[in-house]
């Protein structure tokens, strides 16, 4: 996959949809293209986060460690971005991400990602939107869970 194809992929990630193609190309160029084999871990829960990943091909499981063992909370597909939370707010990784099959991703370093946000307000707004959406889903799930337990 060439740089220009990666730009096309990035364009389809909601977070980057509002960013002009020139900037996206720069982002793609300065990110590392990494490939993982099935079962290889992108990052582990509890580690310090230093990069976000845009999945270019393949799928990965998002796993959370609980007292009862590892549970799978979601699966990510191409065009998804993972690991951005840990680099946004300096917390350790909240989940483990493990490749399901052969997986290609763009690894965006923390400082590059933050720089992009600073230079592209539309990206920041998009991030807020995605995070707010996630928060409301999580809240809804949590209250559903609580009402089920009670």
Partner 1 sequence: MDKSLARFIWTHTWRQQIWILVVVALSMIPYFMALDLPKQIVNGPIQGKGFEGAGAMQPFLPIAFDLPFIGSVRLYAGFPLDREQMLYALSFVFLFLVVVNGLFKFYINTYKGRLGERMLRRIRFILVDRVLRFPPFYFRRVKAAEVASMVKDEVEPLGGFIGDAFVQPALLGGQALTALVFILLQNFWLGMIAAVIVAAQIIIIPQMRKRLLRLGRERQITARQLAGRVGEIVDGIGTIHIHDTSNYERADVAARLGHIFKIRYDLYQWKFLVKFLNNFLAQVTPFLFYLIGGYLAVRGRIDIGQLVAVIGAYKDLPSPLKDLIDWDQARQDVQVKYQQVFEQFSVDRILAPEIQALSREPSPPLGAPLTVSNLSVADDSGATLVEHISLRITPGERVALVGTPNGGADILAETMARLIWPAGGRVSIGDGDILELPEAVVGRRISYASSDPYLFQGTLRDNLFYSLKHAPLIDRTYEGPDAQLAKWRLSEAEKAGNPPYDVDADWIDYASAGAGGPGDLLIATMPTLAAVDLSKDVLELGLRSAIDPARHPHLVERVVELRAAMRERLEEEGLDDLVVPFEPGAYNREATVGENLLFGAATGRAPSRRELAADPYIAGVLAADGLDRTLYGMGLDIADQTVELFSDLPPDHPFFQQLGFMTAEEVPLYEALIQKLSGKPYESAAAEDRARIIALSFAYIEPRYRFGLLTEEIMARVVEARQRFYEGLPDDLRDAIEPYDPEKYTAAASVLDNVLFGRIGNNQAEGPERVRALVRGVLEETGLYDEVLDVGLDFDVGVGGRRLSVVQRQKLDLARAMLKRADFVILNRPLLALDQRQQESIMRRVLDGLKHEERNPAVIWVVSSAAMARFFDRVIVFDAGTLVEDGTHETLSNGNGTFSTLVSR
Binding test (CB under 8 A) with partner 1, winner from 40, 137, 138, 143: 40
Tokens 């493990």 — which residue? 98
Q: Which stretch binds partner 1 (CB under 8 A): 27-35, 66-74, 75-83, 130-138?
A: 27-35
Q: Does residue 117 bind partner 1 (CB under 8 A)?
A: no
Q: Nearest-CA neighbor of 55 among 30, 39, 76?
A: 76
Per CB under 8 A, 34 contacts partner 1: yes
What are the CA-CA distances from residue 93 to residues 2, 20, 83, 113, 124 (Å)? 30, 29, 7, 16, 21
Please tell me whether residue 3 binds partner 1 under the rule CB under 8 A: yes
Residues 6+ apart with CB under 8 A from 67: none
Nearer CB in complex with partner 1: 22/68: 22
> Is residue 77 close enough to count as binding partner 1 by CB under 8 A?
no
Q: How far is the CB of 149 from partner 1 (least distance, A)?
A: 38
């Amino acid at each position: 996959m060439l740089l220009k194809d990666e730009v096309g992929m990035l364009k389809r990630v909601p977070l980057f949809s509002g960013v002009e193609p020139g900037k996206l190309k720069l982002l793609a160029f300065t990110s590392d293209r990494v490939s993982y084999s099935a079962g290889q871990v992108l990052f582990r829960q509890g580690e310090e986060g230093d990069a976000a990943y845009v999945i270019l091909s393949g799928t990965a499981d998002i796993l959370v460690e609980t007292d009862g063992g590892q549970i799978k909370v979601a699966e990510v597909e191409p065009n998804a971005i993972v690991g951005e939370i840990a680099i946004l707010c300096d917390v350790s990784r909240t989940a483990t991400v493990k490749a399901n099959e052969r997986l290609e991703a763009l690894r965006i370093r923390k400082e590059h990602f933050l720089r992009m946000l600073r230079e592209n307000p539309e990206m920041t707004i998009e991030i807020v939107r995605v995070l707010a959406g996630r928060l409301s889903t999580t809240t809804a799930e949590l209250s559903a869970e609580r009402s089920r337990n009670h």
